[in-house]
Structure 1
Amino acid sequence: MIPELYHTFIDWIGDGTGLPDTILHIHAGMAVLMVARIVTRRSLGSFVPWSFVAAAEAFNEIMDRLNFGSWRWADTTSDIANTLFWPTVICLGIRLRPMLLARDAARVKMPDEG
């Protein structure tokens, strides 16, 4: 009952926007990331907002599995990749930025003024 209702709601979103499933997963991943960032007040460089995206995508795929009665691996793996790609890039980019800035600052030393 609940998986069917959930899938009907997801289909309604897809039909209403006219966007393909791939684009909807990208947007959903980014929306969950931003909402989780605001609600938790944690940096996008922490894995806390990212873990909300991973949990939401896991929930979505479990609902798909319950609705269809079996895993559709090609669809499932592409959904996971599309949902998690940009949140992962953002999280790692923000997380690694201080290390890259420190490395660049050490490499480009300014001469002492005086």
Structure 2
Amino acid sequence: MLNKIKTELTELFFLSRDALHIHLGIAIYLVAMLIFRRGPASMVPWLVLLAFELVNEVLDVFHGNHIELDISGALRDIGNTMLWPTVALIVARVIARRQRSAATAQA
């Protein structure tokens, strides 16, 4: 069922599966920030996205009536999904650290 939904979404939005991972990853990350009222420097939205992605990959392994393990495909999916949220997390944390350092230096 999940694969059918993914196929329909890729056809509806004219996206590859890789691009779908990127777009849905960013969307889930943003929604998690809104729901938990946390900014991009918080690990909470990032961990929510990671949990969603890992569950998705487990479901991919067990789709249909057989187990199909594709490690390279799973790693590619995780990388595509987590790349930009990880960049946002790192940049936000670096900026926050610099702002704290500047505030401490001025005090």
- Normalised to the residue count of structure 1, the TM-score between the two structures is 0.81
CA contact under 8 A between 1:7 and 1:63: conserved in structure 2? no
Q: Are the aligned partners of 1:57 and 1:80 in contact in 2 as well (CA < 8 Å)?
A: yes
* Distance in 1, Cα, partners of 2:11 & 2:56: 17
2:9 to 10, 13, 35: 13
Structure 1 residue runs without a partner (length 5+): 107-114
Whether the 8 Å CA contact 2:41–2:96 is kept in 1: the answer is: no
| Partner SS, residue 15 of structure 2 | coil
Q: Which has the larger radius of gyration?
A: 1
Tell me by how many angstroms 1:14 deviates. 1.0
Q: CA RMSD of the aligned region, Å?
A: 1.8
Calculate percent identity across the aligned residue pairs. Answer: 30
Corresponding residue of 2:92: 94
**How far apart, CA to CA, are the structure 1 residues paired with 2:74 and 2:52?**
13
Contact 1:14–1:20 (CA under 8 A) maintained in structure 2: yes
Residue 69 of structure 2: aligned partner:
71
| Runs of 4+ displaced beyond 6 Å | none
Name the counterpart of 1:30: 26
**Partner Cα separation in structure 1 for residue 15 and residue 32 of structure 2:** 24
Give aligned pairs, total: 102
In structure 2, C-alpha distance between the alignment counterparts of 1:70 and 1:18, rounded to whole Å: 26
For normalisation by structure 2, the TM-score amounts to 0.86
Gaps of 5+ in 2: none
